[in-house]
Amino acid sequence: MLNIAIAACVLLFAAAGYIAFMNSRIIADKKREAYIPPPPSEYTVYMTPQFSEEDKRSLAPIGVMEFRDAQGMMKVYLCRVKNEKDDLQLEQAGNVFLHHLTKARDTGALMFYRTVEEALQGPEEKSLTDRISAVAKKKARTE
């Protein structure tokens, strides 16, 4: 009698595990189907001492760095272009931004880098800004 009860419990637990597994697969499939990637965007790297209201109308910054320049403090923005078409894709703009960042970091002029988390759209932008953050945190190369 005890053997029958143990076998019944094992079967019930196996059935419950299988149902939970299938349920998680259904939920994952629904999440994948529900994800709508943002439309392809164009990007630019914008260098200015101050980001104006007019700039905010046409550009959405996703990364900001500030560095000391001969003319004073300068900011470099990695931006998604809202209205106009620009000629840079995300990776290209990211590489240009990384060039400015590493140059400022290596010369000791870098003041800070910050990701604009609330402006990020999609995993590609998140991945790029994570990579930029990692480069910004590295120590300058010793020469």
12-40 pLDDT per residue, tens:
999 999 999 999 999 888 887 776 665 66
1 found inside a domain: yes
DSSP strands (E only) in the chain:
42-48, 59-69, 72-81, 110-115
Specify the number of domains making up the chain. 2
76 found inside a domain: yes
Q: Give yes or no: residues 88 and 31 share one domain.
A: no
Q: Give yes or no: residues 93 and 73 share one domain.
A: yes
Q: Give yes or no: residues 133 and 67 share one domain.
A: yes
Distance CA 71, CA 57 (A): 26
Q: Give yes or no: residues 114 and 83 share one domain.
A: yes
Q: What is the pTM of this model?
A: 0.67
- What local confidence, expressed as pLDDT, does residue 66 receive? 92
Q: Give yes or no: residues 6 and 76 share one domain.
A: no
The total of other beta-carbon atoms located within 10 Å of residue 103's CB is: 12
- The residue range of the domain holding 7 is 1-35
**44 within 8 A of 86, measured Cβ to Cβ:** yes
61 found inside a domain: yes
Q: Give yes or no: residues 63 and 133 share one domain.
A: yes
112 found inside a domain: yes
- What local confidence, expressed as pLDDT, does residue 36 receive? 65
Q: Give yes or no: residues 16 and 81 share one domain.
A: no
CA dihedral 124, 126, 131, 132 (to 10 degrees): 110
Q: Give yes or no: residues 48 and 116 share one domain.
A: yes
Mean predicted confidence (pLDDT) in 67-72: 85
Q: Give yes or no: residues 84 and 124 share one domain.
A: yes
Residue type, 60: A
Q: Give yes or no: residues 28 and 68 share one domain.
A: no
Our measurement of the distance from residue 140's CA atom to the centroid of its chain's CA atoms, rounded to an integer in Å, reads 23
**105 within 8 A of 66, measured Cβ to Cβ:** no
Model confidence at 114: pLDDT above 50: yes
Is residue 64 very low, low, confident or very high in pLDDT (cuts 50, 70, 90)?
very high
Q: Give yes or no: residues 66 and 81 share one domain.
A: yes
Q: Give yes or no: residues 30 and 56 share one domain.
A: no
